Structures are given as structure tokens and as C-alpha cells.
Structure 1
Amino acid sequence: MADQPAAEARHLAHHLRRQVLQMVPLHLLQFGVGETTADQSLDLLVTPQFQTWVYHHIILDPTVRRYPPAPAYLRGFLKAYLARVERVGNVGVDEDLLTYYLDLLATIPPTGGVPQEMCYKTYCLDNSTAGSPVSQDIPKAHAPRSITLKEGQLLITQGTTGLRTWEAALRLAEYVLYCTPNTATDPTNPRPLIEHGVLELGSGTGLVGLTCATLATTATARDVVLSDYHPDVLRLLEANATIHRTCHPASVPVRVVTLDWERFDQGAASAYSGYTVFGADLVYDPSIVPALVRVVATLTRAKCTVYLASTVRNEMTFGLFLATLGKFSADLQPWADGCRTWPQYADWVHQLFNSD
């Protein structure tokens, strides 16, 4: 039991780190984890050792230095954290942390509360510190990996919603994480989720496709194709694919392609025969539903398995999608959301579809 406080501190530290790297909204930041009480967490958070850890393993973390979250976000995080340290009263504030925080206050121009710049978010695939009862179910072979993405911070940037990661992409990437077997330890699995190749429709930032690329091996997947149509989104995808290649040099090949749903036909689909297809948050505008469903139907005829995840924002639009999709597919299977990997969206429930 003598090691329990140290173990709890490590657990809390890594939980805090993965939230900051992912830029979980400041009002949702959890300074406690699992069954640790608020008072216990505060006792751990304010120790000189923990403050030193925050400085060296969050502020000076190599990933943070190379692919930094928004400076305004780091300022907000440190403000919230140092307020907890000062609340105790009998513990001094780490000098390095305080200096860094004051430098941020002095150098970040006011923006009226509106985040303007692009930033980097790092999504840790290791769920061992998420405080979830199902966290131990993730294959250990996947634990150390992470995905870094360049993203916008606004809902709409340059006329598109594709420059930020949306909720359904987190859910779908999580599904891939849970359902991709470790074929080295589970050779009995007859059909890995990722085989032949992967095509992501409407990739946006590319989280789902790059999750597949991070988990796949050249023995199970030919390549991963990230697709979109908006030129700014395509440029962002190229940037994120480059980051992926830098961080995962042994990854399966990742390609970025322009895919126009209106012009997609059986000939185009033949290039992806047998691929696993993913799409997240594609059902948001009724005018694009017919084209989306045609693409899905065309891909299923090319022997693709298609997984779609969607946040239901408008019941009529989603109902139109289901009705249109039902005309093409007799095998429409809902997936009950039971995964809890990403710290930001623990309470979102989405619907996943699989057409074989």
C-alpha cells in the first residue's frame, strides 16, 4: 500500500496529460480520475513533485514542443491548474511553471475570446488512464500509440466544417481501436476489421483513417486512403498525413485523394474493391444525402464493407438518410455505442452502420 499514492499520482498525471494534448475544452477538464476523490486529487496535484512533472512532461513534452496545442489553451490550462495550487495556501508554486504562465500572459494577444489560429491536437490511443471500467479491454499492442493532427478551432473555417475533428469521428476511431484484433495474439479471428485497404469518406482532419493506419500492418492492409473534396481540407489532410509518416515511419502507405461524390461511379469504386470504408459525421445537409447514399451503394457493390457514424443533429435529415439508405441496403445494422476512450466525449451516443 506504500506505493499506492505514487501509483495514483502517475495515473492522474497521465490522465491530465492526455486531456491537455487533446485540448479537451477547459470547462470539461478533469483534475481527478476514477475513484479518486476531489480532495485526494488536490493533495496529489499540488505537491512540488507533481508540479515539476507537469512542467517537464506536459509543457516541455517533445510532442507539445513540436506540435503545440493552442497557446491560449495552455494559458487557460495553467490558470486553472495554478489556481488549485494556490488554493491550498501552504504549497509554493513551481517557479518554472509560473514563469512560463506569465510569459504566455505577456505574449498572447487578446482575440476577444475567439480562437483564430490553427493548432495541433494529439489523440492518445492508450486508454489505460481514462478512468473507464472498460479501459483494460484495449489490446496492449496498441497502447503506446497516438495520432497528432493539425486542426482549426472554429466550427466553420474558410467556408467548410472539415478543418476540425467532430464527435462522430472520435466514436468511429474508437470503434476501430476496440474492434481491430491483434492478429499476432488472436490468429483465430477470420476477418480483421482492417484488411485489404481502408478508404475514409469525407475525411476532414483524417482522424479515423489515420487511426486505421496507426493500427494496421502491411500484413493486414494494403494502404489507407483519405478522401475529401474541399481544397483547404485536402491541404490539411496532406499536412496530417505528413505528420503521420514522420511519427509512424513504418506505417502502411497513406494517400490523400479528391473524391467527388457526384461523379463517383462503379469504375471509380473498382479501385477500392474489398476495402473497408469509414465515414464520420457525413449526414448534416439533406441536399448531399442522395449523393452520399449512391456512393455507399456503389462501394458495397464493389464488395466493400462500409461503416458510418453520425451525430443526430436534425431528426428529419437523419430520417431522410436512413430512408434513402434503406432503399439500397437490406443489411443495415445499428451499432450500440459502448466505447469510452476519448476523454472529451464520454457521454455522446452515436449510431454506426455496417453494410456488407
Structure 2
Amino acid sequence: MFTFKFRLVCTLFTMKTENHCLLDIQTQFLCCLPIKKFAWKDTLKDLSWDAQKNLLNETVDLVILQKYPLDTNYVIRFLRFVINDLESQAIEVHDDLYTTLCAYQSKSNENAEYFYKHYRIRANENDDFQTVILKENRNKISQGTTGLNIWESALAISEWALQNKNIFDSKNVIELGAGTGLSSLIIAKCCSPKSICITDGHVKVIENLLENVHNNFEKSSDDRFHHGTQTVIDAMMLDWMTITEKFIKERLMQVDLIIAADVIYDNLLFESLLTTVRMLFDHCDNCEKFMLANAVRNEDTEHEFLMKLGTFGLQYQVEPTITSKLLYWEPNEFSPIKLYSITKKRQ
């Protein structure tokens, strides 16, 4: 009797561990984490015929990918890696893995301009998973903008937000130069803000941003997007060059916190960006902090920006380095990400 119970406990523990590993693989796959960065945890070791089919079902064949497909070439790389690993172990590869790979290879030359990534987040062990679906352009620069891609700094500030959820609780947040809106959508779903206003200054970026909002939230009877019973999500065009005090008083008076990621790559934008930040500080009753994540690609450009803060009566503090804990992401080793807390100088 004891032996039977012990075996049963071991079997259940093994099943739970295998399911957890598969869930990790699924999460990494859905956000298109580079295959070489995967934490496989022996998932492919001695993978049985049925387990191979299950892996396929829980990754490439997920129903949601029919509506929001990943990059075709990424899926091909994933399938090739799995097949090559199994073959290297002299394991018989499931027919469906080969068939699926052939199907994707046949359409690899038909890659659409856009594809999707799915970020699944559980901010702590007691939370349900939240999924953010992001439409992204395959080109780093498209239609005259870089705002149609997900950049490392957006992932970094999202990670920071998930590790500091209390800062956003019941707050009115605005994101400047939001691009795809990744950071704002994660904050809206996981950090319980009262509202979040997602802004950008490029027409095509706003079109894509609005689609991302629509794919992640539903409109309520007031014709506004909501998450749960509390958070209101809004997206709007905001040109730093033309923003006025009147616009802020009419549309943005309730802002408590400003965030942005990867918006200081061009020194020609410093003046208009900081004018916008200063106006929000001056005309919003409770707006006192601007959180900025920046991938340092050019140290001179970053230094110029930091020196410019003083001319606007602003000061900065460097926050601790952000590391991946709640999201799967990898910073570019050649462009370290820094997080700045920017506030008014004390009188």
C-alpha cells in the first residue's frame, strides 16, 4: 500500500513538473523569444511520441495563432530546433512535426508585413495569467517610423512596472511615444491603474496602437475601452511639437505619472519632449514623476539629454538595473538599458 501511494505521488509530481515545463516553453514560444535563449529544462529529453504531439498542440497548433499568427520564419526555426534535437537523441520524430514544418516552409516566402507576439504574464503566484497580444511590423523602420516594433526598453519598463505594481495602483498614467503600446497594455492588465492614456505622434503608429488596444480590451457601454471594473484605456495622437496648455487642461489634467521607453535616440526631439513633460508637471495637479527607460546606443546622445534636463528645471535619478523575472526578454548586450526617475528640481 505504501509503495502504491509513493508511486502515485511520484507520478503526479512528474506530471505537474512536465506541465509546468511545457507551460514555460509555450510562454517563451508565444512571445517569440530567440530559440537560443529558451530555457528548455530538459523538455525535449527522451520526448515520447505522445509528448511530441502534445508539444505541437501547445505551441504551433494553438487555436489563437490562427487569428493572431506568429512570424512564419520564427515558427520554422522553432520546429527545426525541436526536430534536430530529437533526431540527435535518435528518437523517432512524430509525423506531425515533419508535416507541420513542411507546411510552414511552403509559405515562408509569403511572410506578411505584420505578425503578432503574445506576452503572457503572471505578476505573482496568486494571480491568473494575463495575455497581451501585440501586432508588430517585421521591419525595424517602416513607413517612416520605428514605432511599429517592440524594443527592449519597452520590455524593460514593463518588467519594472510588474515588479513595482503598487506605484501604478489607482493612478492615472500617460505613456509618451508608446509605439506598439506594449508597456501600457501590460500595466493596464496587471498593475491596476485607474486609467492609462497611450500616446504617439505618428499616424501609422496610432492606427496600429488602436488595433492592439482593440485586440486586448473590450468597449463598455460608455464607448471606452476597459479592463475589469476599474481601468480605463485610451489611445490618442500627441504631437510634442504642437501640444498646448489648453489641450492638457482639457484632456490630460488627471495625469499622475508619465512613462516612456526609447524616446531619446534623436537630440532634435529633446526640446519638444521635455517641453511636454514640463507642461504635464506644471498643469496636472498630481503629476510629479517621469519614468524613462533608455537603451544606451550612443553615450553622447544620452549625456546630452541628461544635461538638457537642468534647463527645464528637472533632475534625474538612476534606478537599479532591471533584470528579467516576470517577463521573458533579453536586453541587447551592446545597448545596456537604463531606467531614470525624472522629477522637478526642488526650489
Counterparts of 2:260 and 2:244, CA distance in 1: 18
Note if contact 2:154-2:293 (Cα within 8 Å) is conserved in structure 1.
yes
Asked if residue 88 in structure 1 is aligned to residue 89 in structure 2, the reply is: yes
Partner of 2:132: 147
Per the TM alignment, residue 344 of structure 1 is displaced from its structure 2 partner at its CA by: 2.9
1:120 to 2:116 alignment: yes
Give % identity. Answer: 24
Distance apart, 1:166 and its partner CA = 0.3
Higher strand share: 2
Deviations 1:250-275 (A, max 9, x none): 44232211101011233333324343
CA contact (8 A) 2:227 2:233 kept: no
Which piece of structure 1 moves more, 116-125 or 234-243? Answer: 116-125
For 2:340 and 2:253, locate their aligned partners in 1 and report how far apart those are by CA, in whole Å: 19
Separation in 2, partners of 1:198, 1:259? 14
State whether residues 161 and 191 of structure 2, in contact with CA within 8 Å, keep that contact through their aligned partners in structure 1: no
Equivalent in 13, 34, 49 of residue 25 of structure 1? 34
Look at both structures and tell me which one has the larger radius of gyration over its CA atoms: 2
Q: Could you tell me how far 1:13 is from its partner in structure 2?
A: 1.5
- 1:184-263 → structure 2 map (5 Å cutoff): 192-217=167-192, 220-221=193-194, 223-246=195-218, 250-251=227-228, 252-263=231-242
Partner of 2:318: 334
Letter in 2 for 1:102: C
Taking structure 1 as reference, are residues 180 and 347 closer, same or farther at Cα in structure 2, changes over 3 Å only? same
TM-score, normalising length from structure 1? 0.82
**How many angstroms apart in 1 are the aligned matches of 2:329 and 2:34?**
8
1:315-347 Cα shifts (integer Å, max 9, x gaps):
111011101113334542211124313323167
Structure 1 partner of 2:59: 58
Gaps of 5+ in 2: 1-8, 220-224
Residues 51-85 of structure 1: CA deviation (Å, up to 9, x unaligned): 12212111222332321101221111101111111
Could you say which residue in structure 2 is the equivalent of 1:2?
A: 10
What is aligned with 1:280?
261
- Contact 2:159-2:322 at 8 Å conserved across structures: no
Which residue number corresponds to residue 337 of structure 2? 350
TM-score normalised by L of structure 2: 0.84
2:300 alignment partner, one of 316, 335, 342: 316
Indicate the residue corresponding to 2:109 in structure 1.
Answer: 109
1:161 equivalent among 128, 140, 146: 146
Deviation at 1:212, TM superposition (A): 1.6
Displacement after TM superposition at 1:295 (Å): 1.3
RMSD after superposition: 2.4
Q: What one-letter code is carried by the residue in structure 2 that aligns with 1:266? A: E
Structure 1: 5+ residue runs without aligned partners? 34-39, 127-137, 182-191
